[in-house]
Amino acid sequence: MVEENIGLAHLCARRFLGRGMEYDDLFQAGCVGLLKAVENFDTSRGVKFSTYAVPVILGEIRRLFRDGGALRVSRGLRDLSRKALEEADKLRQETGESPGVAQIAQRLGVPVEKAALALGVGQAPMSLTDGEEGGDLDIPVEAPEERMTERMTLYQILHTLEERDQKLIRCRYFQGKTQSQTAAELGMTMDQALTLASMIEKEAKKADFAKVSAVFHNRLNSGMKLQSDPTIHYVTGQRRMALRSSDLQVDSPYNTYKVSGLPVGPICNPSPEAINAALYPDESYVAEKYLYFCSKDPNTGELYFSKTLEEHNQAVSIYSPLWQAYDQERGI
């Protein structure tokens, strides 16, 4: 019921914009109110859930203003959090290892996603003491409510994704899978994951790794060729930004303009960040079906991402003169 009504939290949060509180804080408070409404809703009263939930959500947001920005988590979720932590300790003592969320969920008899929420709430804020001056040093850390909001948002989009992408998100956020296990869940070997990571490494700066990965995953899922320029660079030995038609026709198992799927092997030694991106692409770019990207400026590495071929072609027409100038300056 949470994922079906997450829009109510957004709707209520927007009512309080411009009153001195960040939207993220308003939305988080709205999510707490939504959880309370879900826990306490009584179908026998004969009213729609939204009719009951909106006043509860608004009340939680107003509480945020009264409390000066301090969010509170519902008693039911706090109780579940306590039980989850207790079960985690028991499992750790029984097995000698840190348990995964799926194991804890099984012990509690709740969905994996709800166990993940409960564990997130149980994370205490961090504080350190400055030994020299004896005062408290506040360290900004991710609040439990932020984790909760993130997972609630994932609930909302999860059912709209392809089965392969649902597996990916569940592996990352709810099941604590290793990289090899995640690759296997996605129908990939670790060698294939490394190959994909190597392409990501050569395509973008670290800030865009996950977005590029999302485009590649979407193209693989759609049966499209990857058409990755760095695979051509690997074959020709030249990093030409404006590829020629003869480059695209080169006969090689690494030429992703001709072969379907991944090339036969990595084109470089990928960084840990690129490997992580290969396994965990940007979920929003996956959900919104981005299928294209191109360079905006070869000198800065900035990329332009598109959902449609028409939009991509427009971007190419705008930025391709920069690619040609870049190649000319380097005598390529």
Q: Is 233 helix (H, G, I), strand (E, B) or coil?
A: helix
- Kindly report the three-state secondary structure assignment for every residue of 108-161: HCCCHHHHHHHHHHCCCCCEEECCCCCCEEECCCCCHHHHHHHHHHHHHHHCCC
pLDDT single digits (tens) 90-130: 887 888 776 766 778 888 888 765 665 666 554 443 333 33
Domain edge (last residue) among 66, 89, 119: 66
Distance CA 222, CA 150 (A): 27
Residue 89 forms part of a structural domain? no
pLDDT reported for residue 2: 62
pLDDT single digits (tens) 259-286: 999 998 899 988 888 888 888 888 788 8
Query: What's the number of domains the chain is made of?
Result: 2
Instruction: Enumerate residues 6+ apart whose C-beta is below 8 A from 158.
Output: 3, 166, 169, 170
**Helix (H) / strand (E) containing 294:** strand 292-297
- Host domain of residue 28: 3-66
Q: What does residue 315 show for φ and ψ, rounded to 5 degrees?
A: -65, -40
Contact (CB, 8 A) for 288 and 307 = yes
Which letter does DSSP use for residue 3 in this model?
G
Residue 204 forms part of a structural domain? yes
Q: What does residue 293 show for φ and ψ, rounded to 5 degrees?
A: -155, 155
Burial 127-146 (b: 16+ CB within 10 A, else e): eeeeeeeeeeeeeeeebbbb
Task: Say whether pLDDT at 287 is over 70.
Answer: yes
Mean pLDDT, rounded, for 31-47: 78
- The Cα-based distances of 50 to 32, 56, 156, 181 in angstroms read 15, 10, 16, 40
pLDDT reported for residue 139: 32
- The pair of structure tokens assigned to 200 is 């990501």
Domain edge (last residue) among 43, 66, 89: 66
Distance in angstroms between the alpha carbons of the first and the last residue of the chain: 58
Across the chain, mean pLDDT equals 77
Domain edge (last residue) among 51, 66, 81: 66
- The pair of structure tokens assigned to 215 is 């485009």
One domain for residues 324 and 193: yes
Name the band, by pLDDT with cuts 50, 70 and 90, for residue 228: very high
pLDDT single digits (tens) 143-176: 444 444 444 445 555 555 666 566 666 565 555 5
- The Cα-based distances of 156 to 148, 149, 287 in angstroms read 13, 11, 11
Residue 37 forms part of a structural domain? yes
Residue 247 forms part of a structural domain? yes
Q: Which of 104-118, 166-180, 221-235, 296-310 has the lowest mean pLDDT?
A: 166-180
